[in-house]
Amino acid sequence: MLFQQSILCFIAGLACGAGFLVISSKSPVHSVLSLIFSFVLCSFVLLTLEIDILALIFLIVYVGAIAILFLFVVMILNVKVAEARANLFQYFPLGFFLLSLLYFDLGLLMPASFSVDVAHFIPFYLEWPKAVLSFGCLESIGFLLYTYFPFYLIGAGLLLLLAIVGAILLTLHRGVGVHRQEVSFQNRRDWVEVLHMVQ
């Protein structure tokens, strides 16, 4: 138990360090790479906590989709390495406010009584009927999502549709005088009418 906890602490601390690297590194490529590192570490945290399905989904979506999107944009844009020339003292009140918020958060969260610690009550022998009939993680998530919350699923689908429409609307230029290739028109053309014999 202590071994697992110490590993968990180590991974979570590493994730924090990667997050700090994200906002402190000078080149955006480096910060995207540290972002990927921190995604992977967070997924490890979940894996250690035995929320395995969510860990795998995080790995796939965050690293496979979002981070790749960021890397694409870094490649498209010609981003120069810029020096920070902020006067850090001007942020002192805001930073103080945020830090105090953090402090209160931790002070309230750590001694708070999340009283139910389920792991103590699980007996260590195997109940066969329970093992056969019970749902696994994936089944229970699917059961909840498709039976009780189908409207959320539809809402999330609408959100992704909106993302597609919005991204296309913002970035696609439909020029008026641009000649485009019309494939069907091209296929319909008869070469006999097009070719002329030049005397």
Considering only residues 69 to 108 of the shown chain, the ones binding another protein according to CB under 8 A are 69-70, 73-74, 76-77, 79-80, 82-86, 88, 91, 94-95, 98, 101-102, 104-106, 108
Please tell me whether residue 136 binds another protein under the rule CB under 8 A: no
Tokens of 155: 């809402």
Give 82: exposed, middle or buried? Use CB within 10 Å, 0-12, 13-18, 19+. Answer: exposed
Smallest gap from Cβ 161 to another protein, in A, equals 8
Task: Closer to another protein by CB, 119 or 197: give it.
Answer: 119
- The label of the residue with tokens 């020096």 reads 83
- Residues 173 and 175: their CA atoms lie apart, in Å, by 6
Task: Closer to another protein by CB, 26 or 127: give it.
Answer: 26
Are 71 and 32 in contact, with CB atoms under 8 Å apart? Answer: yes
Backbone angles phi, psi at 174, to 5 degrees: -100, 90
Our CA dihedral for 150, 156, 158, 161, rounded to 10 degrees, sits at -140
Please tell me whether residue 8 binds another protein under the rule CB under 8 A: yes
Q: Which one of 39-47, 123-131, 187-195 is the stretch in contact with another protein (CB under 8 A)?
A: 39-47
Query: Which residues between 109 and 128 bind another protein (CB under 8 A)?
Result: 109-110, 112, 114, 116-119
Please tell me whether residue 166 binds another protein under the rule CB under 8 A: yes
Tokens of 85: 């020339």
Please tell me whether residue 65 binds another protein under the rule CB under 8 A: yes
Are 39 and 67 in contact, with CB atoms under 8 Å apart? Answer: yes
Q: Which one of 124-132, 148-156, 191-199 is the stretch in contact with another protein (CB under 8 A)?
A: 148-156
The CB density around residue 34, as the number of other CB atoms within 10 Å, is 19
Task: Closer to another protein by CB, 127 or 157: give it.
Answer: 157
Query: Which residues between 176 and 195 bind another protein (CB under 8 A)?
Result: none
Task: Closer to another protein by CB, 127 or 156: give it.
Answer: 156
